[in-house]
């Protein structure tokens, strides 16, 4: 379903950013990667196609570092097949308490972060549209000056 929605937006000439909120654990860090790969395959998009971007907003590696002293962290599940790669990628060992659940972030902080993220998306679009408008204005002024 998500792939169909993304396809419609891409066909309309829009870029798509999928904002990810997931636990910071082996499965929470792996499912966005797997979802992106699956969606790109369904849409026949290369992994380098910049029109589709997945970006983790909640829970990030810096959240682990910031929240560590304040919340009850736990060690990753040793039975999860993704744990070894996850430990290696983030530099933890099997006994490090580094797993952070989504609910460790307060709703107010999560809302503020998501709001800031989406406002930046609109600001980027606005600045791009303003730049195009200024370029068109310059082209029109040049064309009018050439007629004089």
Alpha carbons 21 and 28: distance in angstroms, whole number: 9
Alpha carbons 90 and 86: distance in angstroms, whole number: 6
Q: How is 111-129 classified by DSSP, letter by letter? A: HHHHHHHHHHHHHHHHHHH
Mean pLDDT of the chain: 89
Whether cis (ω within 30° of 0) applies to the bond prior to 101 is no
pLDDT in tens, 11-20: 999 889 999 9
Alpha carbons 29 and 86: distance in angstroms, whole number: 8
How do the domains of the chain map onto residue ranges? 2-105, 106-148
pTM above 0.75, yes or no: no
DSSP SS3 for 2:
helix
């Amino acid at each position: 379903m998500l792939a169909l929605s993304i396809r419609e937006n891409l066909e309309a000439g829009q870029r798509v950013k999928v904002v990810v909120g997931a636990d910071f654990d082996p499965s929470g860090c792996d499912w966005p990667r797997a979802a992106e790969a699956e969606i790109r395959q369904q849409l026949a998009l290369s992994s380098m196609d910049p029109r589709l971007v997945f970006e983790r907003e909640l829970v990030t590696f810096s959240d682990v570092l910031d929240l560590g002293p304040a919340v009850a962290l736990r060690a990753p599940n040793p039975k999860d097949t993704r744990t070894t790669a996850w430990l290696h990628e983030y530099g933890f060992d099997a006994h490090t308490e580094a797993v952070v659940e989504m609910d460790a972030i307060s709703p107010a902080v999560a809302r503020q972060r998501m709001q800031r993220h989406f406002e930046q998306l609109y600001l980027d679009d606005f600045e791009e549209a303003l730049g195009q408008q200024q370029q068109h204005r310059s082209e029109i002024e040049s064309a009018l000056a050439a007629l004089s």
